[in-house]
């Protein structure tokens, strides 16, 4: 006898199905509940590459909900392109991030062709699930064991997602792309390492994407590790690995990377400012099995807070240990264990850190007289203590265990001023929406750390446009030569350029004849007043090469009195401009946006500010003494006029995406539960 449902039961089931569907649809709109099922490469990463010799093998770990069917894979770089074939599928495995958390990944194995030229390569995998890409992920080893020394660019505290000094950190970090790529060729720089605080707030996905976009243009192997800011507003390790840092940088909280005769080991000092004890177990195990390689340890919070020379145990220099390492009994036990490991293994030669935003290099001397160099570097982009600056430090570690800081400008080194000062090295990259135009604007006046007569600019161009369509514009006389490479997905260009003084250079596939648009988003205060700064937030957009500058030309009573440049904000099309209203009169302010081809867009603001007034009080009973006090100046405002833009009217802004109400989710879930109970009750009653 078949089982049949009554019409009412069928209706209830339909309602139940719709309710479940509604519940899941609602959940998909809530941040941290929706999941991205698109496969992506977990390791190797652009911040933790794999090393393989020609004819050797390397492993690729992919985050995927199902088995990956590879159709084709290849590596491509400045030294050529090599097919890897479909590789070998090793199946699913567990990637252990820490003792309490592992993630499931699909493992693949590939062989580097015997004839592959040593160098750094992008990895591209084509599968039925789509195309996977990881830049600067494969380092083909060409005998780097024979290198006597390793030269390292040490950067720290880059704080993408924040802004300071008139520029977003994301924007001004392109100066380091230029510096490092130049030093790769000029000083044979081997690699770059970032010791934490990559992102200002660890849940800022846009900042992570910007970090990926900017640093992937560096033509040297890169290593990165987290700092306390990378953990900010992140709930747990799973979120840290699957949604934020681990998704966009690399998934490992601790790692080791072998580079010839040198080994780099990373620890995670977390929000607490010191690593867990299991991390030191990992460190000792790696060092014990390092085969005598020279070990460079890296973590975010420095061990010493002051430059100096130290020996013995913590009791000998407790006041000079950074506070996070001695804030509790647990922290101090970890600190003692770290020193025990350093004392036990003489092949540990250096420790790299950041966090305190200043240079504070120290030397720790073991009982046998051998030394470990604790290198602490200034912030590269963000808030610094008085007397310091934004910079990068060049560290050379040699096979004899010696460590020194390189100062290419020729100035002397001190433990508190060893970094390259990049304050006056203003070199910024601007692209159009499709990378069919890339511009560099620069002002290096006052930069004396390095000769800037022949710097290396590296950038990507859209490959859907024929390479011959791209032309140079701007200060083309500064360009010594241009070399391009076909990297499969895009063209990579190296331009050798004289960056002395100021100017701009553009490479574009089209000529930009369209003026930019500019409009006032806000003006504060709405009624300009004497002695108060007038703050504009402006939107300047361009359908061509991009915005070069935004400025205000201020006239008072018909005479020009000031020209003020606006500062870029985190939103690429927004600028902040501040003008101090010091004198009464009629103001006429032209707000102007200039693009890289010299086209301008304008809007105008006019207003009057009255002179301060004084009042004379009613005479007192003793008229022989007349006192006329001066009150706080009162501003008299007559009119404020904001003119329409001189070019085209700014396009209307899209409405912000509304958050899906949480109440709907709760309601849907309640409906599901109630209907389920009703159905169960009805069927029980029938039976």
- 643, containing H or E segment: none
Angle between helices 662-686 and 7-28 (to 10 degrees): 150
Which SS3 state, helix, strand or coil, does residue 184 take? Answer: helix
Q: Which two tokens stand for residue 542?
A: 């361009």
Residue 669's pLDDT is 54
List the chain residues with pLDDT less than 50.
Answer: 1-36, 618-642, 644, 647-665, 680, 683, 687
Angle at 137 between CA 136 and CA 139, to 5 degrees: 90
Contact predicate 601/645, CB 8 Å: yes
The pTM assigned to this predicted structure is 0.84
Contact predicate 167/422, CB 8 Å: no
Q: What is the number of other CB atoms lying within 10 angstroms of the CB of residue 484?
A: 14
Distance separating alpha carbons of residues 325 and 219, to the nearest angstrom = 35
- The sign of the torsion formed by the CA atoms of 241, 227, 256, 57 equals positive
Distance separating alpha carbons of residues 362 and 351, to the nearest angstrom = 10
User: How many residues are listed for the chain in this entry?
Assistant: 687
Q: Where are the alpha helices (DSSP H) in 267-328?
A: 277-288
């Amino acid at each position: 006898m078949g089982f049949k449902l009554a019409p009412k039961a069928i209706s209830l089931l339909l309602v139940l199905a719709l309710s479940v569907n509604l519940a899941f649809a609602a959940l998909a709109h809530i941040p941290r509940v929706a999941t991205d099922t698109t496969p992506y490469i977990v390791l190797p990463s652009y911040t933790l590459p794999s090393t393989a010799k020609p004819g050797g093998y390397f492993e690729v770990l992919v985050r995927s909900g199902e088995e990956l069917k590879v159709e084709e894979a290849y590596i491509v770089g400045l030294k050529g392109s090599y097919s890897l074939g479909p590789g070998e599928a090793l199946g699913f495995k567990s990637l252990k991030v820490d003792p309490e958390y592992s993630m499931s990944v699909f493992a693949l194995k590939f062989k580097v062709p015997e004839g592959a030229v040593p160098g750094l390569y992008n990895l591209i995998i084509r599968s039925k699930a789509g195309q996977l890409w990881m830049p600067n992920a494969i380092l083909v080893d060409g005998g780097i064991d024979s290198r006597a020394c390793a030269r390292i660019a040490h950067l720290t505290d880059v704080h993408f997602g924040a802004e300071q000094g008139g520029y977003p950190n994301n924007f001004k970090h392109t100066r380091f792309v230029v510096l490092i790529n130049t030093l790769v060729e000029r000083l044979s720089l081997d690699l770059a390492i970032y010791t934490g605080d990559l992102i200002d707030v660890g849940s800022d996905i846009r900042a992570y994407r910007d970090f990926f976009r900017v640093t992937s243009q560096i033509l040297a192997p890169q290593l990165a590790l987290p700092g306390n800011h990378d953990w900010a507003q992140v709930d747990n390790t799973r979120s840290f690995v699957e949604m934020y840092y681990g998704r966009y940088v690399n998934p490992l909280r601790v790692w080791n990377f072998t580079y010839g005769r040198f080994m780099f080991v990373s620890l995670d000092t977390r929000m607490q400012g010191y690593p867990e004890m299991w991390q030191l177990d990992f460190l000792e195990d790696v060092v014990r099995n390092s085969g005598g390689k020279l070990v460079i340890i890296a973590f975010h919070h420095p061990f010493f807070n002051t430059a100096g020379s130290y020996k013995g145990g913590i009791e000998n220099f407790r006041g000079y240990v950074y506070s996070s390492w001695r804030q509790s009994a647990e922290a101090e036990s970890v600190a003692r264990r770290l020193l025990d490991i350093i004392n036990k293994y003489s092949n540990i030669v250096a420790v790299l850190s950041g966090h305190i935003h200043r240079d504070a290099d120290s030397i720790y001397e073991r009982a046998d007289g051998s030394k470990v160099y604790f290198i602490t570097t200034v912030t590269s982009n963000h808030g610094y203590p008085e007397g310091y600056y934004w910079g990068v430090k060049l560290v050379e570690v040699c096979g004899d265990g010696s460590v020194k800081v390189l100062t290419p400008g020729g100035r002397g080194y001190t433990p508190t001023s060893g970094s390259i000062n990049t304050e006056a090295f203003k070199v910024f990259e601007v692209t159009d929406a499709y990378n069919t135009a890339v511009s560099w604007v620069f002002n290096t006046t006052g930069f004396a750390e390095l000769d800037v007569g022949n710097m290396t600019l590296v950038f990507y161009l859209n490959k859907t446009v024929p390479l011959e369509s791209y032309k140079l514009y701007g200060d083309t006389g500064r360009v010594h030569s241009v070399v391009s490479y076909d990297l499969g997905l895009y063209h990579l260009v190296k331009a050798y350029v004289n960056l002395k003084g100021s100017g701009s250079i553009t490479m574009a596939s089209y000529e930009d004849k369209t003026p930019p648009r500019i409009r006032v988003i806000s003006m504060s205060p709405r009624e300009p007043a004497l002695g108060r700064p007038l703050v504009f937030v402006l939107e300047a957009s361009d359908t061509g090469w991009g915005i070069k500058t935004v400025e205000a030309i201020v006239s008072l009573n018909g005479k020009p009195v000031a020209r003020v440049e606006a500062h870029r904000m985190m939103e690429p099309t927004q600028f902040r401009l501040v003008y101090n209203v010091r004198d009464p009169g009629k103001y006429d302010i032209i707000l102007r946006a200039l693009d890289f081809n010299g086209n301008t867009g304008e809007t105008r603001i006019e207003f009057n500010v009255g002179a301060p007034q004084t009042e004379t009080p009613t005479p007192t009973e003793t008229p022989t003494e007349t006192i006329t006090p001066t009150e706080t100046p009162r501003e008299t405002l007559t009119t404020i006029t904001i003119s329409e833009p001189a070019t085209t009217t700014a396009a209307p802004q899209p409405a912000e995406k509304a958050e899906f109400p949480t109440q709907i989710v709760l309601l849907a879930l309640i409906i599901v539960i109630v209907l389920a109970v009703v159905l169960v009750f009805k069927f029980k009653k029938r039976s």
